[in-house]
Structure 1
């Protein structure tokens, strides 16, 4: 098992089911275009390679804005259901936090939906010393 960036077509395909575990509306037909558009927009995908298919993935971006300063934002963090509870998401978060520190970033952010199904994810974020700092508002157009 190792953590690495998804850079090739084979890597992107290996990550598909783990991404779809979090984003079920992202069908096989839509996946390739959607992931390429996402990665073309200043994002990177990191995954736990267990020898073939990705057990867990993280998609993140880095940037700067007036509120956060230099930041890293985690768009997606997902583990295949059959690999949950093995610590893979925690390993990805640890890698990301180390990366942010090495790069001199000031903050690491993520949003997480609120439901009973997200309880384990929230526990992980709190254990990694993330704080709940705001409400996130959306208006669909």
Structure 2
């Protein structure tokens, strides 16, 4: 299962059914509008598909911070509730770790992925700190 970058509005809207489970306060048009605004600021969406359906989606930015240098900041991560518990979220976190390495990041940071941390190890951290994307 490969990670697909949602690079245009049509691809982003294909991710909406999964994102709506994480962001129920938005409607599809509001979601697309926020993506347009945030993508101008470096926000990107990636997804995993299975049987032609988006099953996992994530939104992230690559940025620089004083504490960690260049990082991948994970804003959003959601697995379709119909397929949770099958390791697809962990697969996405592994893919995001590879994207972070490809982008020259020293670490990846998230305020949303803390519930996945005990199962996946040091791919993400809370806002209070960050962990290396590679083992020492």
120, 125, 137: which is aligned to 2:117? 125
Deviation at 1:60, TM superposition (A): 0.5
Cα distance change on mapping 1:133 and 1:73 into 2, 3 Å: closer
Structure-2 residue corresponding to 1:58:
58
Q: How large is the Cα RMSD of the aligned pairs?
A: 2.1
1:35-114 matches, cutoff 5 A: 35-112=35-112
Unpaired segments ≥5 residues, structure 2: 130-136
Higher radius of gyration, 1 or 2: 1
Q: Does the aligned pair in 2 maintain the 1:14–1:52 contact within 8 Å?
A: no
Deviation at 1:46, TM superposition (A): 0.5
Q: Which segments of structure 1 move beyond 4 Å, counting only runs of 4 or more?
A: none
Q: Does the aligned pair in 2 maintain the 1:72–1:100 contact within 8 Å?
A: yes
Deviation at 1:59, TM superposition (A): 0.5
Could you state the TM-score of these two structures normalised by the residue count of structure 2?
Answer: 0.81
Q: Output the CA distance in 1 between the equivalents of 2:92 and 2:38.
A: 19
Deviation at 1:103, TM superposition (A): 2.8
2:93 match: secondary structure: helix
Deviation at 1:126, TM superposition (A): 2.3
Q: Greater shift after overlay, 62-71 or 95-104? A: 95-104
Q: Which digits, 9 at most, give the CA deviation of each residue in 1:20-55, with x for residues without a partner?
A: 111110112412212221222101111002243311
